[in-house]
Amino acid sequence: MNNTWRVMTTKSDAEPWWFFEGWEKDIVHEWTLNDRDEAIGRFLEEMRRLSESHRKSKSKKLHSIAFWDPGEVFFCEACDDDLQVYYGLIIFENDGPMEIKDESVINEITDRIQQ
């Protein structure tokens, strides 16, 4: 079996690591790659781009990162409240979140993202 990697960016009112039912509808961009190093490179490139354009960030198990600006909210009529807008970055290996073990990749993520 050949591995495939997917790097996805999302826009949602939920952080990207929740994977609530229907979360796929929040995908804004998606790259499917057959090379692990290319996938990690794309993930890191998107992380850099998103971290430069959003003031806040947080990571969950390194494979999912949320970016946001506190003032960017939208009104939810169903819950009668303002909800934060999150821009998510996710990397999958095959059908699930990728476990990141490469120390240099971990260091770059943790250096850039507010855990």
pLDDT the model gives residue 2: 86
Beta strand pairing status for 73-76 and 81-84?
antiparallel
Full domain range(s) for residue 86: 5-112
- What pLDDT band is residue 63 in, cutting at 50, 70 and 90? very high
- What pLDDT band is residue 1 in, cutting at 50, 70 and 90? low
With 0-12 / 13-18 / 19 or more C-beta atoms within 10 angstroms meaning exposed / middle / buried, residue 79 is: exposed
Task: Give residue 95's region: left, alpha or beta (phi > 0; psi -120 to 50).
Answer: alpha
For the chain, the domain total comes to 1
CA distance 77 to 98: 35
pLDDT tens-digit readout, 16-53: 999 999 999 999 999 999 999 999 999 999 999 999 99
CA distance 49 to 45: 6
- In the chain, DSSP assigns E strands to 5-12, 27-33, 56-60, 64-68, 73-76, 81-84, 86-93, 96-97
